[in-house]
Amino acid sequence: MRKPALHLSLYEQIKHHIISEIELEHLLPHDKLPSENELTQQFSVSRITVKKAMSDLVKMGIVYRIQGKGTYVAVAMPDKGAPAAETPIRPKSAPAIALLLPFINNQHNALLINGVESVLSDAGYSLLICNTENSIQKEERVIREMVERKVAGMIIYPVDGESYNREILQLTLGSFPLVVMDRYLRGIDTNCVCPDNLLGAQEGVNYLISLGHRNIGFLSTTIRGTTSIEDRLTGYEKALAEHQIPIDRRYRYVDIELGDPKPIKEKIRDFLTKHAELTAIFAINPGLGLQVIKVASEMGLRVPEDLSLIFFGDFELSEFYSVRPTFISQEDNMLGKEAANLLISVIENPEQKTRKLFFPPKLIIRESTANPGSRS
């Protein structure tokens, strides 16, 4: 039975909004954040609510304070020189679970953490949050460190482009309590908890087609071995094929490298300019989707009148944007809870068979989608 979507408290909304601004590079390392008074006015909340949000961000290593001057964006989240594992949330006497994440500075992972921690805390486990910085080498090193620490189990969100990891394979062969989250690794038989990425993408593109769109672009970071993105591309193409719409590979931009010197906005602008016939875009995550809205505005294109947009991923902060985006919700908080529940089950019943849990995402229709406009 599907659980209700998470309703974020006011302080969590502020916290996740700031995280999103950092992820989108609207706030850069050492940039000063708005003052507490400014945030109080912006979000129409009390000073206490803002203080709680900022205190959490400081504890997470995302921002830092300078007495008498203000709060600033940290250089890295957490500091690359810090130990991979954060301070346990519960006392050290509790058995520890390690949660490995490729990033911690976005709303998606913040919601996953909330879900995992809520279940583990109730079950009497402490949580070690490990930032692998989207590096396979660091992920392997952190896994070895967690084994040496004798953690009771691990939940691993694999890094982008990861098709094989020898340390994860060793954990599996050694029957170590392990759950892979958000995406799976082909060829390695592990417990996993994932959204049904193919189904979610297919549902989103089907909705665009139902509005009358035929020229639909697909916008993605580099796919290479990332099963979640591969499945979303398959869902996009399956929807087109089932409606007898030719699959035009020119409409796929699938190699956006986040670390490239050329800014993402410039890449998206080039793509939209080159393919002026596109009337809709399906983006694989909120970061790219929100950039599409911004670039379209700079190009004089109205969303959704001239260009419709759907992206994959939860987005709780729509009320703070001029165009509230339509998105595919993968219910991150619920996924985190299910991953923690599955790991506890594996720890308590080590002989049970491997389980792969796929949950159907949900299309949330808001204001960024409409019938084809002037570009058609």
Question: CB–CB of 201/232 below 8 Å?
Answer: yes
Q: What is the pTM assigned to this prediction?
A: 0.73
pLDDT of residue 92: 43
Peptide bond into 304 cis (omega under 30): yes
> Which of the four CATH numbers 3.40.50.2300, 3.30.70.270, 3.40.50.150, 3.60.15.10 does domain 197-331 have?
3.40.50.2300
Crossing angle for the helix pair 10-23 and 47-59, to the nearest 10 degrees = 50
Cα–Cα distance measured from residue 77 to residue 103, given in angstroms and rounded to the nearest whole number: 8
Q: Tell whether the model's pLDDT for residue 4 goes beyond 50.
A: no
Q: Tell whether the model's pLDDT for residue 171 goes beyond 50.
A: yes
Q: Tell whether the model's pLDDT for residue 43 goes beyond 80.
A: no
Crossing angle for the helix pair 166-173 and 136-148, to the nearest 10 degrees = 30
Q: Tell whether the model's pLDDT for residue 16 goes beyond 70.
A: yes
Average pLDDT over residues 124-138: 88
pLDDT band of 8, cuts 50, 70, 90: low
Cα–Cα distance measured from residue 144 to residue 42, given in angstroms and rounded to the nearest whole number: 45
pLDDT of residue 315: 73
Of residues 322 and 235, the one with the higher pLDDT is 235
Nearest residue to 204 (alpha-carbon basis) of 369, 348, 3 = 369
pLDDT band of 263, cuts 50, 70, 90: confident
Domain ranges for the chain: 10-73, 96-195+332-360, 197-331
pLDDT of residue 97: 94
Cα–Cα distance measured from residue 141 to residue 206, given in angstroms and rounded to the nearest whole number: 42
Q: Tell whether the model's pLDDT for residue 285 goes beyond 50.
A: yes
CA separation (Å) from 274 to 30, 217, 336?
36, 12, 40
Average pLDDT over residues 74-83: 51
pLDDT band of 317, cuts 50, 70, 90: low
Q: Which amino acid is at 42?
A: Q
Q: Which of 84-93, 148-157, 177-186, 272-281 has the lowest mean pLDDT?
A: 84-93
> What's the CATH number for 10-73?
1.10.10.10
Q: Tell me the percentage of the chain whose pLDDT exceeds 70.
A: 86
Of residues 283 and 258, the one with the higher pLDDT is 283
Q: Tell whether the model's pLDDT for residue 91 goes beyond 70.
A: no
Q: Tell whether the model's pLDDT for residue 64 goes beyond 90.
A: no
Q: Which of 47-51, 77-81, 181-185 has the lowest mean pLDDT?
A: 77-81
Cα–Cα distance measured from residue 335 to residue 182, given in angstroms and rounded to the nearest whole number: 8
Quote the mean pLDDT of the chain: 85
pLDDT band of 365, cuts 50, 70, 90: very high
Q: Tell whether the model's pLDDT for residue 216 goes beyond 90.
A: yes
Sheet holding 362-364, edge to edge: 252-256, 216-221, 280-283, 308-312, 326-329, 362-364
**Do 10-73 and 197-331 have matching folds?**
no
pLDDT of residue 62: 86
Q: Tell whether the model's pLDDT for residue 306 goes beyond 90.
A: yes
pLDDT of residue 260: 60
Q: Tell whether the model's pLDDT for residue 11 goes beyond 60.
A: yes
pLDDT of residue 105: 66
pLDDT of residue 374: 57
Average pLDDT over residues 201-229: 94
Q: Tell me the percentage of the chain whose pLDDT exceeds 90.
A: 48
pLDDT of residue 247: 96
pLDDT band of 137, cuts 50, 70, 90: very high
> What are φ and ψ of residue 168, in 5° steps?
-65, -40
Average pLDDT over residues 156-173: 82
pLDDT of residue 162: 62
Is domain 96-195+332-360 in CATH 3.40.50.450, yes or no? no
pLDDT band of 7, cuts 50, 70, 90: very low
